[in-house]
Amino acid sequence: MKKDFSYFWLIVDQLFLMISFNDTQIAFAYKSDSELKKARFLFHSMRNAFLVKWGIRLTPLAIRLKLPIKGIIRNTIFSQFVGGETLEQTASVARKLGIYQVQVILDYGVEGGNDGEAGFDHACAEFIRVINYAASQTNIPFVSIKVTGFARFELLEKLDGSLESASGSLMKRYASALNNFTEAESAEWKRVQHRMLRICEAASSKQVGILVDAEETWIQDPVDVLSIQMMERFNKQKGIVFNTVQLYRRDRLGFLKDMLEAAHFKNFILGVKLVRGAYMEKERSRAEANHYPSPIQENKEATDSDYNKAVAFCMDHVDDVSAIIASHNEHSNLNATQLMGEKGLALNHPHIHFSQLYGMSDNITFNLAKAGCSVSKYLPFGPIEDVVPYLMRRAEENSSLSGQTGRELALIQNELTRRKREK
């Protein structure tokens, strides 16, 4: 008993003495002066709403017209937020992050579908290639996948609509909804299931975690179904498959609890990635246009509240839930570490992992890593023309989140000033 008590206070001491998101020396140790100055210029530019608005409109057009702008993109926004154009180019980034005990979540940023079923099959094969590559590295425990990369959006939308009109639990509604498919659609859905199975089989055999990205609400139910089916099959001993829960949705805290009930009933470990969300404006606009209640929380405070409740819920059931706390919110991350201290959980507990996007919130990522937390950077890669949509989302996100962008700029400037003072 004395040993356990001492260990508890050791953890508490670590939390309160070592974790500070204001320590820029730790946050930017991996960046040179020139890299920091380039980041400062980029974030400053993204504060200009007019510049970002026209950049978002014109950049995809310029790419389609094959105008000579790839070099500009590669040396600015691409290098800030993307790991490279090829899988192999991510290796140097992963090695660099690994020096500071920061791991990597690889994200193949190219979606299938341009060539129909052949495109979906190609995307599936690419996901498996990424899994095999991750398994060959020491610093890449997770790979992110997107179901719309290997499934037709309209098929998912039809299935989601059928699920919504049925009654009962998610899986009961799913069984009923399948009856609304035509014979051709049923065959197409079986191919989607087979691709998902191949991906998860590869991940399980290599012991690489699969993070299933969230989608829009009107196609999310089928994604949830696939994720739960794969968790039931592969999450028997540890978390291999992780479903993404967007807490800016009103119903997701309840859904998280329902998933744990299913996990207890089916005897599997629940794998979840907790995020606030990525489709807020699109969701609200669609709800208004189609005259149904918005699925989005009324305000930021409600989202923050549900997010923190979700984190606490996962820690309350940490033996049965493997959770990835994917957040750029400093309070949420500190709150999570404090909860770990209160519960006597080691900072590197195998069921608690933190994550932030590459190119953002280095003050969170690297200070968590320094304190001993399990933490990663979400690292997309792919040809410039294929990751442009991702880059435009980052630009738009940083232009609208002025507080976040201002925080990034202030931290960068503080570190540059500190380095200048020490020279």
**pLDDT recorded at residue 16:** 46
Distance CA 215, CA 278 (A): 9
Give the model's confidence band at 18: pLDDT under 50 very low, under 70 low, under 90 confident, else very high.
low
CATH code assigned to 84-381: 3.20.20.220
Which band of pLDDT confidence, cut at 50, 70 and 90, is reported for residue 111? Answer: low
What is residue 71's predicted lDDT score, i.e. its pLDDT? 87
- Which residues is 381 bridged to in the sheet? 108
pLDDT category at 264 given cuts 50, 70, 90 is: very high
Structure tokens at 267: 């005897």
Residue 113: pLDDT band with limits 50, 70, 90: low
Q: What does residue 65 show for φ and ψ, rounded to 5 degrees?
A: -85, 0
* pLDDT value at residue 363: 97
Coil, strand or helix at 44: helix
DSSP per-residue codes, 220-288: HHHHHHHHHHHHHHH-SSS--EEEEEETTBTTHHHHHHHHHHHHHHHT--EEEEEE--S-HHHHHHHHH
Average pLDDT, rounded, for the chain: 91
pLDDT at residue 387 is higher than 90: no
Model pLDDT, residue 402: 53
**Backbone phi and psi for residue 321, each to the nearest 5 degrees, phi listed first:** -125, 130
At residue 252, the pLDDT reads 97
The pLDDT value recorded for residue 299 is 92
**Backbone phi, psi, residue 318, to 5°:** -65, -25
Question: What letter would DSSP give residue 371?
Answer: H
Q: Where are the domains of the chain?
A: 31-82+388-423, 84-381
Instruction: Report the C-alpha gap between 310 and 304 in whole angstroms.
Output: 10
Percent of the chain predicted with pLDDT > 90 = 75
Pairing of strands 209-212, 241-246: parallel
At position 200, the amino acid (one-letter code) is C
How large is the average pLDDT for residues 346-359? 96
Strand 142-145 versus strand 103-108 pairing type = parallel
Evaluate if residue 324 carries a pLDDT over 60: yes
Per-residue model confidence as pLDDT tens digits over 194-213: 999 999 999 999 999 999 99
Mean pLDDT of the 172-196 span: 97
Q: What is the pLDDT of residue 17?
A: 47
Under the banding of pLDDT at 50, 70 and 90, the label for residue 15 is very low
Question: What is the pLDDT, as a whole number, of residue 114?
Answer: 64
Closest CA relative to residue 101, chosen from 412, 333, 371, 379:
371
Where is average pLDDT lowest: 83-92, 119-128, 313-322, 391-400?
Answer: 391-400
Which residues sit opposite 27 in a β-bridge?
Answer: none
210-230 confidence digits (pLDDT tens): 999 999 999 999 999 999 999
276-292: pLDDT as tens digits: 987 788 898 999 999 99
How do residues 132-177 score in pLDDT, each as one tens digit?
999 999 999 999 999 999 999 999 999 999 999 999 999 999 999 9
Going by C-alpha positions, the residue among 171, 141, 147, 333 that lies closest to residue 238 is: 141
The predicted model gives 20-35 an average pLDDT of: 95
The pTM of this model reads 0.92
